[in-house]
Amino acid sequence: MNQSHGIENPADYSILLTNDDGYEAPEMRQLAARLLQRGYQVTVVAPLVNQSACAQKLTMNTPLSLVRQQDILAETTENGKNGALNRAMVFSLSGTPSDCVVAALEPRSGVLHQNGISASLVISGINQGPNLGSDVMYSGTFAAARQAGVYGFPSLASSIATYDKILPECIEKAIDATVFVAERLLRNLPTALPNRFRDLTDPLQHHDPEYVPADESEALHLLRDALAHGDLLVNLNVAKEWKGAFATCRLGAVFYRDVLRVPAAGADSRGQEGSVPVGTKAEIAIGGGIIMQVRDVPNSDIDAIEANKASISTLNCWPETHPLQVSPLIMQYALRSTEEGLPTWLCPGDAKILAGTRSPMDE
């Protein structure tokens, strides 16, 4: 994974990075450095402090502090520009990950516009911890990628799928996987994105719930078109012991129970009927608990991580029944994969890869 996958001129591409762990998180900063080394333009707009599990919260009508921090510097080591110094502007925002995306992408007042930058791709992460299955409903990392889609930008959410201490070699593996998938996405995007800032509001063919693709080739083309319009996004999770294998996945089903911690004093303050008397104060906390999952979900991202793979899930940006939702008749093709485990829609024209096309629908 030491070569840019079909990206002839990385300097022509600008990547916006954000996360929910904060602008100082080493996973995101090291990802930024790797992208700079490969020659890409990079801008970071990320929360001032950790905002994990805040979902797609926006801070409404409250002043937020946007601060230009020290640039991230790296020498370009590839694509014939060895030794050239590349830099990423870094901004912290006293808000949520979705606030950061808004602050970056707003068409007339956002950070990118103010600096004459046009994003080609938005990457949220690399997150400290998994975003598998129903985690995406709470994840600030995933929400930031989705917010980019709301603005019409293609996006990737990336996470390290472990609750253990994250070691440097684990971060390097996650960066390898993230850059590999990001460059696959860039290979499938037009030079000029067709719907930046949602200038086009009319439904397109990939939105039509009754349209049946003529064949697999057309369906895969429509998936790539949906990516370019920001109507679908990719959720990547990298196993702690990842050794290079990918899996094309659907979301698994994971739940958390016994997550509410109530001190004994709070429990003892209950009345005879078990109610809390008026005015009683108890400090409670949410976190930890027992992880429960639904088994026998074919091709789930949870199973992929348990097999020490990197899971790639192609997901709708829009909720079910929304007029811009990518049609289920088309989304089913997002589960088709190659022998290497990559989504087939990310591998157009690659004879070696396409030769191994398979799908859960065929099993």
In the chain, what are the domains? 10-252+298-362 (3.40.1210.10), 254-293 (no CATH)
Distance between CA atoms of residues 86 and 40, nearest Å: 8
Instruction: Count the neighbouring beta carbons within 10 Å of the beta carbon of residue 62.
Output: 9
Instruction: Give the predicted TM-score (pTM) of the model.
Output: 0.90
Q: What is the pLDDT along the chain (363 residues), one digit of tens a residue?
A: 444 456 889 999 999 999 999 999 999 999 999 999 999 999 999 999 999 999 999 999 999 999 999 999 998 886 556 678 899 999 999 999 999 999 999 999 999 999 999 999 999 999 999 999 999 999 999 999 999 999 999 999 999 999 899 999 999 999 999 999 999 999 999 989 999 988 888 889 999 999 999 999 999 999 999 999 999 999 999 999 999 999 999 999 888 888 888 876 545 554 555 566 788 888 888 887 877 777 778 889 999 999 999 999 999 999 999 999 999 999 999 999 999 999 999 998 653 444 334 444 444
* The two three-digit tokens of residue 37, written as one number: 């080394």
* The two three-digit tokens of residue 23, written as one number: 């602008």
Distance between CA atoms of residues 220 and 218, nearest Å: 5
- Output phi, psi for 298, to 5 deg: -65, 140
Distance between CA atoms of residues 357 and 337, nearest Å: 6
* Residue type for position 2: N
Say whether the peptide bond before residue 126 is cis (omega within 30 degrees of 0): yes
